[in-house]
Amino acid sequence: MAVVAGAVFFLDVDREDGGGHSAANRAQLKRACAGLLPYEELRDRVPDEVAGEVNQYGTVLDPGEESRSLMNCSVTWPGHGAVWVRAVALVSRIPMTVRAEDILPGGDDEGHEAPGVTGRTGRDGQTWVIAECPGGLEGRFREVPGMYVTADVDLPGPGKGGKAERLADFRTAVRVANGITAVQKCGGSPLKMPTRIIDTHEPPEDRADTEAGRTDEPGPGVKKCRGLGTRAGFPGKWTARGDLQDSRLLSVCGATVPDREDPMATEPEPPDGAVVEVSAASWAGPLGESADDQYDHTGDGFGLREEERTRYIPESKPHELALWARSKCAAGATYHRVTVRTKTSVTDSRTLSEAERTKFSENVRKLMDGYLTDPGGWPGQQRCHDTEILGEAEGWR
């Protein structure tokens, strides 16, 4: 089928017998998006009431076309649902957030992850995955080692709504990503087809898997995060949590000591200045540049000169310091970022003393060293080496 950029295609047949559009719509779904949609999974959910419309463009569909998209394709049944996918080369930073604080599970914002796949459904409801292409994608002005694919499946049927629909999003995105890497012959290994997804915002005690004795859900027991806090020598009983993407491109961990306001807590109250919350994150290969750019945009990047620093702590800001480093890991150049947050009983704005600032730096360096050398942690799993410390970023600026 010839493809024209931005064209809309209609497929319909005479319905003198009063029949529906299922057969024609299924045939349309099978051909659309270069035939890369998971047809067998979606065919029984195609609406019968109206004829479908296809809108598609991109360099995968038309190699001679000038487009930023490898593929942008939608199949729509007006008023009755749609399937939409978009694949874009990672020429510049990914528009979806990859900041540690936005990916770390356990917060109030809804999110989903598929174990074994680099990607997630974020707070905006958009599902994205990352695929590597170490041989470079064709038709780009410079070598591009990866792509991101977004997908949205909104169809009637038993998969409508909730986790089932998010799983359909992930499986559609993975199917399209694998199809493109195969067509492009860019050297990327096929992504694992997800079979389940995880709510990242649910408290661990609310998960059926936790009740069944599983310890690999976000929250207590995430293996790669268990040493965070304790290996650095910070006192207290630490609880770790982390993403479960099982990715060689992205890892996020966080750990806290129990809230001393809990009347059931048995640990002693930590003194002012004690480390009570830490995090560690790594972004490799095509995601490293995205993370660096996104933190620079928020003013939390590394490398500020001494004269650019301020030690004034506004009341609304926590006492937090980040340290950045760069390593060579299995997936290529990798950025690491660790943060340390301390306890304070001060409610008014104040200024850190030289001794307090020095102690902050010592703590964040201890955390980075512990994170990088933990044999069970992500940097150890990914064989990271040749690490260079890049600089600090003060969370109270």
d(Cα 242, Cα 198) in Å, to the nearest integer?
Answer: 12
Q: Is 189 part of any domain? A: no
135, 152, 184 — which closes off a domain? 184
Q: Are residues 246 and 164 in the same domain?
A: no
Is residue 343 scored above 50 in pLDDT?
yes
Residue 12's pLDDT is 42
Same domain for 241 and 289? yes
Backbone angles phi, psi at 179, to 5 degrees: -65, -40
* 386 pLDDT more than 70: yes
φ, ψ dihedrals at 151, nearest 5°: -145, 150
pLDDT in tens, 187-209: 878 999 999 988 887 554 444 44
Confidence of residue 261 (pLDDT cuts 50, 70, 90): low
Give 228's pLDDT tier (boundaries 50, 70, 90): very high
pLDDT value of residue 205: 45
Same domain flag for 154 and 15 = yes
Question: Residue 198 falls within a domain, yes or no?
Answer: no
Boundaries of domain holding 145: 7-89+107-184
The domain boundary, picked from 184, 217, 250, lies at 184
Mean of pLDDT values over 166-188: 93
Q: Which has the minimum average pLDDT: 187-191, 228-232, 367-371, 373-377?
A: 187-191
Q: What is the pLDDT at residue 62?
A: 87
Same domain, 169 and 243: no
Note the pLDDT of residue 125.
79
pLDDT of residue 362: 95
Domain co-membership, 262 together with 162: no
Kindly tell me if the per-residue pLDDT of 17 is higher than 80.
Answer: no
The residue that leads in pLDDT, 10 or 199, is 199
Asked whether residue 255 is assigned to any structural domain, the reply reads yes
Instruction: Let me know whether 280 and 227 are in one domain.
Output: yes
Q: Which tops the pLDDT comparison, 84 or 221?
A: 84
Q: Are residues 178 and 207 in the same domain?
A: no
Domain boundary among 155, 184, 213: 184
Which contacts (CB < 8 Å, 24+ apart) does range 342-350 have?
Answer: 342/272, 342/273, 342/274, 342/275, 342/276, 343/270, 343/271, 343/272, 343/273, 343/274, 343/275, 343/276, 344/272, 344/273, 344/319, 345/272, 346/272, 347/315, 348/315, 349/312, 349/313, 349/314, 349/315, 350/313
Identify the band that residue 108 occupies on the pLDDT scale cut at 50, 70 and 90.
Answer: low
Residues 210 and 145 in one domain: no
Q: Are residues 385 and 257 in the same domain?
A: yes
**Is 95 within a domain?**
no
Label residue 260 by pLDDT band (50, 70, 90).
low
Average pLDDT, whole number, for the chain?
Answer: 82
The more confident residue out of 18 and 331 is: 331
Domain assignment of residue 115, yes or no: yes
User: What would the mean pLDDT of 144-166 be, rounded to a whole number?
Assistant: 84
Residue 226 reports pLDDT greater than 80? yes
Confidence of residue 210 (pLDDT cuts 50, 70, 90): very low
Pair (146, 243) in one structural domain: no
Please tell me whether residues 214 and 175 are part of one structural domain. Answer: no
Domain match, 174 and 226 both: no
Looking at residue 13, its pLDDT comes to 41
301 occurs within a structural domain: yes
Number of domains in the chain: 2
Q: What percent of the chain has pLDDT over 90?
A: 47
Mean pLDDT of 29-52: 94
* pLDDT of the residue at 208: 41
Flag the least confident range among 285-299, 342-356, 357-371. Answer: 342-356
Residue 197 counted as domain residue: no
Q: Quick check: is 131 in a domain?
A: yes
The letter for the amino acid at 31 is R
